[in-house]
Chain A
Amino acid sequence: QSVLTQPPSASGTPGQRVTISCSGSTSNVGNNYVYWYQQLPGTAPKLLIYRNDQRPSGVPDRVSGSKSGTSASLAISGLRSDDEGDYYCAAWDDSLSDVFFGGGTKVTVL
């Protein structure tokens, strides 16, 4: 069981908005930045969100991140077929000096 908890799956039709949650604790999500990665089938992960809500260059603004307390969320609006893949949250943990990834959420476009 992962230290950061994500739902195993999420889905939506093209054009819809999907939201993925990431729940942690004070020592990780609560006190540190949350990052989000997208992993398309057969590829390496790609950084989608850093510092809770910042998008790297090239990530469209239909992707957004937020954090409140010990929980964070990733939202993808205007869902497209090429958004299908696995999404992971991640955060540093102060107590354990460890980097934790969530268990991952598989996004399916119906």
Chain B
Amino acid sequence: QLQLQESGPGLVKPSETLSLTCTVSGGSVSDSYYWGWIRQPPGKGLEWIGSLYFTGSTYYTPSLRSRVSISVDTSKNQFSLKLRSVTAADTAVYFCARHVGVGAHQPFDIWGQGTMVTVAS
């Protein structure tokens, strides 16, 4: 069955760029689904970051739009997150997930296990 796995550095310095990759297995990132990133600061709730379709169509949460970009690499069956100019407030568990269908308004039905990213010097 479809599985998602996040990967990337667990520690990022303030003002630098956080980069994470989500590898899709058991399916294709080019299938008719949107793919997204969600984060969860320690002890807090969930926050949607953004989502994309394999064609490159993207949606971002307005509060992060100036710092975030999500891209897809169909040859590697992966999609990626970049968050620029990070601060301690960006410390969180980052999840990648699949939307049920086409559109960022659809719910997430499959999630990766999440990866903890700490922003500290």
Contacts and interface: CB of A to CB of B under 8 A. Distances in A.
Nearest to B49: A99
Report the interface size class on chain A: 20 to 34
Given A35-B107, A92-B104, A99-B105, A44 B112 contact: yes
B62 A44 contact: no
Interface stretch (B17-25, B40-48, B83-91): B40-48
Report the interface size class on chain B: 20 to 34
Contacts, number: 57
B61 interface: yes
A71 B62 CA distance: 24
Contact of A98 (B48, B95, B108): B48
Interface string A85-110: 00010101000111111111000000
B61 A104 contact: no
11 contacts: A2-B45, A37-B46, A44-B95, A47-B108, A98-B48, A98-B62, A99-B36, A99-B105, A100-B48, A101-B48, A104-B46
- Nearest first, the 5 closest Cβ-Cβ pairs linking A and B are A92-B105, A99-B48, A44-B111, A35-B107, A101-B46
Interface of B: 36, 38, 45-48, 51, 59, 61-62, 95, 97, 100, 104-105, 107-109, 111-114
